[in-house]
Amino acid sequence: MRNTTILFFLIFNVVLSQEKQFSGVIIADSIAFTQVNIVNLTQEIGTVNNTKGEFAINANIGDEIIFSSIQYETYQITLTQENFLENTTIYLLSEVNELEEVKISNISLTGNLTKDAANLKTTPYFYPSSVGLPNAAPVLSVEERRLYSARTGGPVGLLVDVLSGRMAMLKRMKEIADAEGVISKSKKMVTTHFIVNDLQIPEDYIDDFFYFCSEDENFKKIVNTNDKLKMIVFLNSKKELYLKHKEWK
């Protein structure tokens, strides 16, 4: 009888000493694509979760379990009886790694293109004439280069250009480009308020009015002098003639 009792207690103790399964599910962002290391620090064993975040590991009450991954903050738990009664839910927070400041430029930018461009150090374009080099030719515009090319294409090239009217077309293109440059400069000599309120030119017709004025040979001369007073007098002299040709007047 005594031996039977001893055997019973031995079997009972073996059953009690058998390891249990600590199981549960991990809740975290992108857990389906991430494996979390689940380590029983007490028994020095480990496992990982499946794509659903589920896990199971041998453990006993009082064991220290740690959950670690590069993507998440480390989480540690000491097991109690409650952890074996039902699945445990483990919530992991995403790890935020702060990067060191990286300087890509020693220039402080404001976001204003005009101001930022003014603060940049640039190298001026080199013109031979600026250093007194001999035979330094002036810089030609696109239209001037085209016209020069047409004139220096040789006898055959010149004949073809004359017959095709290319010379006339290129001359006209240069004239238009020159006129646009003069008009752009003239518009900066007076204000929009003066054109609209004093001259009574609708704002939508300002460009048309300046093109009309540019047909006068004195217009370019006044622009080249940059005399704002003369420009005001000139525009005043042209407004009546211009307004007569417009339906809204």
Per-block mean pLDDT, blocks of 10 residues, the chain (249 long): 50 54 92 90 93 95 94 93 93 76 60 67 60 58 62 54 61 70 87 90 88 88 89 88 73
In a domain, 37, yes or no: yes
- Residues 193, 162: one domain? no
Q: Could you tell me if residue 73 is inside a domain?
A: yes
The answer to whether residue 151 is domain-embedded is: yes
Cβ atoms within 10 Å of 133's Cβ, excluding its own: 9
Length of the chain: 249
- 193 and 244 together in one domain: yes
Domain ends where: 61, 91, 121? 91
210 plus 240 within the same structural domain: yes
Residue 157: the pLDDT is 55
- Token match 């995403």: residue? 94
Q: Residue 76's pLDDT is what?
A: 95
243 in a domain, yes or no? yes
Long-range contacts of 132-136 (CB under 8 A, 24+ apart): none
Question: What beta strand segments (E) does the chain contain?
Answer: 20-27, 37-40, 45-48, 54-59, 64-68, 75-78, 88-91
Token pair 């031995």 is found at 10
> Can you give the CATH number for the domain in which 51 is found?
2.60.40.4130
pTM score: 0.36
Q: Is residue 184 part of a domain?
A: no
Residues sharing a CB contact under 8 Å with residue 210, sequence separation 6 or more, in sequence order: 183, 186, 187
Residues 24 and 84 in one domain: yes
Domain that holds residue 229: 189-249
Looking up tokens 């499946």, which residue turns up?
Answer: 50
The CA distance from 182 to 161, in Å, is 28
Distance between CA 89 and CA 69 in Å, rounded? 17
206 plus 162 within the same structural domain = no
Residues 162 and 204 in one domain: no
The predicted pLDDT at position 9 comes to 47
- Do 212 and 164 fall into the same domain? no
E strand or H helix at 205: none
pLDDT at position 15 is 44
Mark whether 84 and 59 lie in a shared domain: yes
Domain count, the chain: 3
Is 33 inside a domain boundary?
A: yes
- pLDDT value for 16: 46
pLDDT for the residue 55: 96
